[in-house]
């Protein structure tokens, strides 16, 4: 399955027996809940997967040692995906309302656990609604499937692996420039970035305008080549291992294979006072 599908493709495949659409809307603002947004209107047939409860291990949060969105284990992934009606042959399309910034987490998670039939909806809900396509408010109740989680070695790094590899690998930080430079960080314990990391804000993978979509593969290839990613597939991190997956999606579209995720990301790294940090432009 292509890593990116269009609204036309999804519209033509609505209701297909082997397709599961996943709404993974999530917001940094604690006053906003993705589940409430889903209940107010979602793409027909979509199930809701919660970033905190479904796509992250328990025990996460601001200032927690494991970071804000700890990587789930195989047992949790198997349970969650099975309950969502995702089986070995299911094609999955993930969407959000932030141009794929959140949906890419599900895309990378499924692939890291051995399921390649997954894509992100290009333009997400914003493009879907801008085209006048239908929404529904009825919650989907899919039949339980049997998802087998098969973790792929090396796709996800823990803190110990990041400490070992950061000095010899290309490391990309997907956060916005001010947080990368350490000018301010209202979210995590310390401001700055992992020493040696280069800034690759995920938002720069997108076109400008009211309904952003992913840039062309050629544009993405040029972007990541300028960061050194063609010569050395990178390790990517962000604040908590969510928007880093958008960079990994963009790298895939650019034809750069072998990118890896540091799952704990800055929220885990910055919570450990014994780990170094850098500030400034890098």
Task: Cite the active site residues.
Answer: 238
> Could you give the residue ranges of the DSSP H alpha helices within the chain?
7-13, 34-40, 74-83, 103-112, 124-130, 159-165, 177-181, 217-226, 244-254, 265-269
CA angle 152, 10, 137 (to 5 degrees): 100
Residue 155 is classified by DSSP as S
How far apart (Å, rounded) are the C-alpha atoms in residues 127 and 266?
Answer: 31
Nearest to 158 by CA among 261, 44, 12: 261
Look-up: residue for tokens 């799952």?
Answer: 263
| Residue 206 backbone phi and psi in degrees, to 5 | -110, 155
- Phi and psi at residue 181, in whole multiples of 5°? -75, -10
Beta bridge pairs of residue 95 = 23
Report CA dihedral (256, 260, 264, 265) to the nearest 10 degrees: -40
Gap between the Cα atoms of 149 and 19, Å rounded: 18
Residue 164: both structure tokens together = 């070992």
Check if the beta carbon of residue 22 is closer than 8 Å to that of residue 49: yes
DSSP letter at 138 equals: S
């Amino acid at each position: 399955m292509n890593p990116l599908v269009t609204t036309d493709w999804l519209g033509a495949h609505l209701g297909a027996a082997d397709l599961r659409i996943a709404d993974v809307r999530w917001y940094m603002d604690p006053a906003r809940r993705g589940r409430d947004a889903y209940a107010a209107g979602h793409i027909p047939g979509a199930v809701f997967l919660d970033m905190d409860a479904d796509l992250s291990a328990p025990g996460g949060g601001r200032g927690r040692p494991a970071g804000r969105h700890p990587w789930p284990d195989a047992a949790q992934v198997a349970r969650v995906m099975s309950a969502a009606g995702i089986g070995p042959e299911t094609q999955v399309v993930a969407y959000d309302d932030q141009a794929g910034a959140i949906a890419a987490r599900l895309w990378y998670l499924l692939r890291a656990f051995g399921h390649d039939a997954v894509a992100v909806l290009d333009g997400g809900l914003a493009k879907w609604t801008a085209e006048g396509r239908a929404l529904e408010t009825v919650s989907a109740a899919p039949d339980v499937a049997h998802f087998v989680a098969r973790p792929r070695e090396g796709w996800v790094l823990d803190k110990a692996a990041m400490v070992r590899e950061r000095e010899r690998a290309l490391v990309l930080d997907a956060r916005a420039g001010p947080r990368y430079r350490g000018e301010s960080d209202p979210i995590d314990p310390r401001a700055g970035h992992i020493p040696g990391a280069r800034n690759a804000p995920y938002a720069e993978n997108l076109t400008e305008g009211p309904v952003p979509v992913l840039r062309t593969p050629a544009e993405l290839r040029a972007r990541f080549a300028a960061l050194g990613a063609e010569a050395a597939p990178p390790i990517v991190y962000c604040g908590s291992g969510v928007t880093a997956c958008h960079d990994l999606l963009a790298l895939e579209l650019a034809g750069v294979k072998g990118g890896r995720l540091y799952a704990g990301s800055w929220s885990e790294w910055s919570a450990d006072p014994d780990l170094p940090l850098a500030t400034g432009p890098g």
